[in-house]
Amino acid sequence: MLGAPQGTYARVRDGFRAYRMIAGMWIRSTMAYRASFVMTTFGNFAATALDFVAVLLMFSRVDRIGGYSLPEVAFLYGVSATSFGITDLVVGSMDRLGRRVRDGTLDTLLVRPVPVLAQVAADRFALRRLGRVTQGLLVLAYAIAVLDIDWTPLRLLMVPLMLLCGAAIFAAVFVAGGAFQFIAQDASEVQNSFTYGGTTLLQYPPTVFAKDLVRGVTFVLPLAFVNWLPGLYVLGRP
């Protein structure tokens, strides 16, 4: 009876160990060209920052979007962008699984004594994706600094919990999308519509979208639990 839990624990431990080893290899490879790393990270930061520039341009014409002020939208944006950035950094390579299935290179991963999920997730680990995480954290810090709400200890605790849980939700979507590519094989763009498209959706208030869409990302694909629903509590909204 005790063998199964111990076996599961051993597989998880081996998976994390393999992931750390593979990711470390790619990090060392990246840091061999530090100037290139700095430039690509800054490029990633600048490219993702354009999303928030679009939000600022909207607020240059209106005071509120869907009843939400700029600090409130910035809070939603910061949580969504940071959570997704963490996931994209850790398991963003899952979208290449379909290509490996098509060209047959997945077979080389199957014969190794290492969990396949760890190998696929750590494949070509891109440290430059820290640019997206940094940009999201800066917007989130700005929102927390200017929001006019009563920051109780529970509300403060909710912020890191939202980031961790949001990253876990996005990671589940990445893994589910990777599993779907075993069937569809050429469905990376379908996966991207739920991952990259999902984080773009969550950067805006739920009140600007149709009710059926909001229900869909609440009860079917639970992206609303990344920032919309817990954000209602933090922002003091009904």
Q: What are the beta bridge partners of residue 65?
A: 68
Q: Give pLDDT, residue 183.
A: 82
pTM: 0.91
Instruction: Write out residues in the chain with pLDDT < 70, as ranges.
Output: 1-6, 185-186
Q: Give pLDDT, residue 179.
A: 87
Q: Give pLDDT, residue 223.
A: 96
The domain total for the chain is 1
Domain residue limits at 144: 3-234
